[in-house]
Amino acid sequence: MTRSDAVRSATLVDRLGAVRTDWTLDEVRELFALPFSDLIYHAQRVHRLYFDPNQVQISTLLSIKTGACPEDCSYCSQSIRFETGLKSEPLMDLGDVMEKARAAKANGATRFCMGAAYRSPKPKQLAQIVEMIKGVRAMGMETCVTLGMLTPEQAHQLKDAGLDYYNHNLDTSESHYKKVITTRTYQDRLDTLEAVRNAGINVCCGGILGLGEKEQDRAELLHTLATLPQHPDSVPINQLMQVPGTPLYGAEKPDGLDFVRVIAVARLLMPKAHVRLSAGRSGMSDETQALAFLAGANSIFYGDKLLTTENPEEDKDRQLFAKLGITPEPLAEQSAPTCSRPADQHQHALAN
Ligand code: SAM
Ligand code: DTB
Ligand code: SF4
Report DSSP letters for 206-239, one per residue. Answer: -EEE-SS--HHHHHHHHHHHHTSSS--SEEEEEE
pLDDT at 332: 78
Q: Is the CB of 69 under 6 A from ligand 3?
A: yes
Q: Is 205 a catalytic residue?
A: no
pLDDT of 331 reads 86
State residue 49's pLDDT score. Answer: 97
Ligand 2 contact via 275 beta carbon (within 6 Å): no
Residue nearest to atom 25 of ligand 1 (CA): 240
What confidence tens digit (pLDDT) does each residue in 163-212 have?
A: 999 999 999 999 999 999 999 999 999 999 999 999 999 999 999 999 99
Residue 76 CA to ligand 1 centre (angstroms):
7
- Beta carbon of 167 within 6 Å of any ligand 3 atom: no
Report which bound ligand comes closest to the CA of 149. Answer: 1
Helix H or strand E segment including 111:
strand 111-116
Q: What confidence tens digit (pLDDT) does each residue in 149-166 have?
A: 999 999 999 999 999 999
Q: Is the pLDDT of residue 17 over 90?
A: yes
pLDDT of res. 264? 98
**Using CA atoms, how far apart are residues 168 and 86, in angstroms rounded to an integer?**
22
Please check whether residue 267 is in contact with residue 238, taking contact to mean a CB–CB distance below 8 angstroms: no
Q: How confident is the model at residue 6 (pLDDT cuts 50, 70, 90)?
A: low
**pLDDT of res. 10:** 73
Which pLDDT does position 343 carry in this prediction?
40
The Cα–Cα gap between 273 and 269 comes to 9
Tell me the helices (H) and strands (E) count for the chain, helix number first: 12, 10
Q: Is a pLDDT exceeding 90 seen at residue 328?
A: yes
Instruction: Compute the distance between CA of residue 295 and CA of residue 304 in angstroms, rounded to an integer.
Output: 24
